[in-house]
Amino acid sequence: MSLLEKLEAYHQLHSLGSSFYQKAGMRVLPSAVQQLFSSAITFHTNHFVDAAGGRFALHALQTNRAKEITIVESSRATLRCLQKSVEGLPDIKLLAGAVWDAPKHRADVIFFLPQTDKGNARVEADLMGACNALRLNGEAYFIMHKDQGAKRYEKLAETLFGALEVLDKEGGWRLCKAVKHFDKTYEINRLDFSILDLKLQAEPGVYAAGKLDPGTAFLLETYDMTQLASKKVLDIGCGYGLLSLRAALADAAVTALDDDLLAVRSTHQNAEHYGLDIRVLHSDVNSELHDGERFDVMLTNPPFHIGKQVMLDIPEAFIAAAYKHLVPGGELVLVANKALAYERLLEHFVYWETLATNQSFKILRAIR
């Protein structure tokens, strides 16, 4: 399969029946989680918010469980599937954002899955955001795994909401119901931190927020960013924007993309703080680029897992996007875990080399 065919396959949406679509690059809920959430759809209410992937909003609509339904989702890959899934369903509102972006004090019931793989700050923000979304005496249903700090976070949830009970358990997953007893709004704060003399901000749970990712650090040590002056640079998987900022400070014209809307907002905030004109797009790999757009250089530290699931189709799509969007003679520079065999994909390029290696990472360079 050619790289362009691989990229086309990555972007295909697949129907799972019941009008629900999936694609490569999106988080898939374990079957136990799906079963536990489905068992909780026993309510009849006015306003239901699904911040757990959207499948349960469709179930609620089909069974007439709610008059008003809102789906909240921050992943562009998932949003693309949801847009297809809710076509022709005016009773479902689709909102791009995190749990804390849901309308305040309106929901009677909310489903959400705290992002325990993204750190304490993200879980706390998810819990506070869900509480903010509920009206007084509203109900929140959420699921966490016992090996991911569930009991500790359940205590926090009980403090924030006022009441909590564990309804069911399956395969280590715990379905909880929290009831909002306090008429208050919790403030969700960005994280402030400094990296390489840059003062930065990131929303809760953005990848590597508050620290310098070691792979990115190795790329910056290896690659001379000053050579990017006056070049068009693409950063896919921008996170809170460090590579984009360093490229823009070197006088490059930068386009930054990320699947996570929280990363996109963080990069935009950081660029704005430094007065940098960085074009930042909420994009599933290259989904928001025009077919004819071309760049001189692509820099990337591609993710290879979603949660604990290894997802090599994502970095492979990054490499395929580089092949599509680089000018002839354009340069791809990426950092990768040493164990990941991306070299076979780079053989589609005119030339490739390993620029540097250390104990954990390698810097690969390819010419289009």
Q: Do the domain assignments include residue 202?
A: yes
Select from 155, 180, 205 the last residue of a domain: 180
Task: Flag whether pLDDT at 12 surpasses 70.
Answer: yes
Looking at the fold, whether 252 and 304 belong to one and the same domain comes out as: yes
Q: Say if residue 9 is exposed, middle or buried (CB neighbours under 10 Å; 0-12, 13-18, 19+).
A: middle
30 and 126 in a single domain? The answer is yes
pLDDT band at 308 (very low <50, low <70, confident <90, very high): low
Same domain? 357 vs 275:
yes
Total domains present in the chain: 2
Q: Confidence band (pLDDT; 50, 70, 90) for 16?
A: confident
Same domain, 133 and 229: no
**What DSSP state is assigned to residue 86?**
T
Which CA distances in Å does 4 have to 267, 286, 319, 320? 28, 12, 10, 6
- 59 and 200 share a domain? no
> What's the average model confidence in pLDDT over 82-99?
95
pLDDT tens sequence across 33-53: 999 999 999 999 999 999 999
pTM: 0.96
Mean pLDDT of 309-332: 93
Query: Are 133 and 176 within one domain?
Result: yes
Tell me, what's the pLDDT at 182?
Answer: 96
Domain match, 195 and 175 both: no
Domain range enclosing 349: 191-367
Query: Within this chain, do residues 64 and 157 fall inside the same structural domain, yes or no?
Result: yes
Provide mean pLDDT across the span 327-353.
96
Per-residue pLDDT tens for 145-188? 999 999 999 999 999 999 999 999 999 999 999 999 999 999 99
Of 158, 180, 202, the residue that ends a domain is 180
Same domain, 199 and 341: yes
**Any domain includes 5:** no
7 domain residue, yes or no: no
Evaluate whether residue 363 is within a structural domain.
yes
* Geometric angle at alpha carbon 77, from 364 and 320, rounded to 5°: 30
CA atoms of 250 and 299, how far apart (whole Å): 14
Tell whether 151 and 229 lie within a shared domain.
no
**Confidence class of residue 301 from pLDDT cuts 50, 70 and 90?**
very high
Residues 24-30: what's their mean pLDDT? 91
CATH code assigned at 61: 3.40.50.150
State percent of the chain over pLDDT 90: 94
Same domain, 174 and 65: yes
Radius of gyration of the chain, Cα coordinates, nearest whole angstrom: 21
pLDDT of residue 312: 87
Residue 241, in any domain of the structure: yes
Our CA dihedral for 193, 195, 200, 205, rounded to 10 degrees, sits at: -70
Can you give the pLDDT at residue 19?
80
The answer on pLDDT for 309 being more than 70 is: no
Residues 85 and 229 in one domain: no
What's the burial of 217, exposed, middle or buried (CB within 10 Å: 0-12/13-18/19+)? middle
pLDDT at 307: 63
End residue of a domain, out of 126, 153, 180: 180
